[in-house]
């Protein structure tokens, strides 16, 4: 795993050095989300590819394919590299396939970001949204975790009652 970590760190540096943003936390987060939206795909045959580890940062950055866990873990990894305070969230509902997304803390306020569902025609639809909007189409968050170790950190996600200013163009 050490060699994989070295490889993704080198790749992350290349990616991050090529991003354009305004230097704000929101700008950095949006640039990373946009890069993922434009460069990593969700393979339609993912259920037949369990051995490919499509939920990992390594796979997302080396093959440019990922499922939700890979998108969220990669967003978290790249975000932390530029100093953003992010976490991965897992819904893990009983008897259903779970979903993984991110939260970011900007100016002591938490927001949801779902890079997996980001659509180029509506790039801000799932960017820095509130609990109300997030949970209207996502299962309730059960826990968050460290995406590199997959260790559960806390049994409950932070509360989020606001939207990021980019959502309103301010």
In sequence order, the β-bridge partners of residue 103 are 87, 112
Is residue 88 within 8 Å of residue 76, measured between CB atoms?
yes
pLDDT for the residue numbered 165 = 52
The predicted structure's pLDDT at residue 151:
58
Predicted confidence at residue 167, as pLDDT, reads: 44
Whole-number pLDDT of residue 89 = 84
Exposed e or buried b for every residue in 91-123, given b needs 16+ CB within 10 A? Answer: beeeeeeebbbbbbebeebbbbbbbbbbeeeee
**What's the rounded Cα separation, in Å, for the pair 164 and 170?**
9
Contacts 24+ apart (CB under 8 A), 50-53: none
The angle that helices 2-17 and 68-81 make with each other, rounded to 10 degrees, is 70
pLDDT at 148: 58
Q: What is the pLDDT, as a whole number, of residue 62?
A: 95
Q: Which of 66, 116, 141, 38 is nearest to 126 (CA)?
A: 116
Residue 118 has a pLDDT of 80
Q: In the prediction, which pLDDT does 140 show?
A: 60
pLDDT tens for the 170 residues of the chain, in order: 789 999 999 999 999 999 999 999 999 999 999 999 999 999 999 888 878 889 899 999 999 999 999 999 999 999 999 999 998 887 765 556 778 899 899 988 888 899 998 877 777 888 988 877 777 776 666 555 556 555 555 545 666 655 555 444 33
């Amino acid at each position: 795993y050490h060699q994989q970590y070295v490889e993704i760190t080198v790749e992350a540096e290349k990616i991050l050095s090529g991003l354009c943003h305004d230097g704000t936390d929101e700008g950095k987060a949006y640039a990373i989300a946009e890069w993922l939206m434009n460069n990593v795909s969700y393979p339609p045959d993912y259920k037949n590819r369990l051995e490919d580890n499509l939920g990992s940062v390594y796979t997302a950055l080396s093959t440019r394919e990922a499922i939700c866990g890979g998108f969220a873990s990669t967003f978290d990894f790249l975000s932390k590299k530029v100093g953003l305070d992010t976490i991965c969230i897992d819904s893990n509902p009983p008897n259903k396939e779970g979903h993984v997304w991110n939260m970011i803390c900007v100016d002591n306020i938490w927001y949801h970001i779902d890079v997996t569902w980001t659509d180029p025609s509506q790039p801000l639809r799932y960017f820095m949204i509130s609990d109300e909007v997030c949970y209207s189409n996502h299962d309730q968050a059960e826990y968050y975790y460290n995406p590199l170790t997959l260790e559960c950190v806390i049994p409950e996600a932070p509360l989020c009652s606001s939207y990021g200013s980019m959502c309103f163009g301010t």
